[in-house]
Amino acid sequence: PPTPALSESLSADALVVGAGYTGLCAALHLAEAGASVCVLDAHAPGWGASGRNGGQVNPTLRQDPDELLRRYGAERAEALVATVSRSADLVYGLIQRHAIACDPVRAGWLQLGYTPQAVDALHARARQWERRGVRVEL
C-alpha cells in the first residue's frame, strides 16, 4: 500500500516508531484491540533488517535461559523466555489468520557446533529449554 510521508498533525492512541516486523506486529495488535495507531518509519515497511532476514523464524535469544535468570531474576527472565519460546506460534498464527501468501514451512531449525566446547554448550542450552517445556532434539 502507499506509505506517504506524514505531512500534517495527527492524533493517535499509539505511535509506533519502526515498520519492521516487531513494529508492525505491535501496531496490528494495538489496532485489533481498538486503538488508533500511527506507524512511522524513514522507509517503506519491511525495508530494513526485517526485509533481509532470509525468512527464518528462530525463536531464541542471544543469552541462554539460565544466564538470563542470573542477570534479571526469575520473574523477568522466565517471562522473556516464555514469550520467546512461543514467538514462532505468533508468527505462524498471523500468517494463518491473515491468509498471508508466503508458503510458510514449519520444520524446526538447527544450531550447530564445530568444537567440543561448542557442542557441550549446545547440549547445555538444549537442557535449559527442555526444562521450560520446549521440545528439543539433539
User: Cell numbers 500534517 label which residue?
Assistant: 8
* pLDDT (0 to 100) of residue 32: 96
* pLDDT (0 to 100) of residue 3: 85
* pLDDT (0 to 100) of residue 62: 87
* pLDDT (0 to 100) of residue 37: 97
Choose among 87, 54, 85: nearest CA to 68: 85
* pLDDT (0 to 100) of residue 114: 93
Tell me the three state secondary structure of residue 15.
strand
Looking at the chain, how many residues does it have?
A: 138
Give 10-residue mean pLDDT values along the chain (138 residues): 87 96 94 97 88 82 93 95 91 94 88 94 94 89
pTM of the model: 0.77
Q: Quote helix, strand, coil % in the chain, to nearest 5.
A: 45, 5, 50
* pLDDT (0 to 100) of residue 41: 95
CA 12 to CA 27: how far, in whole Å?
12
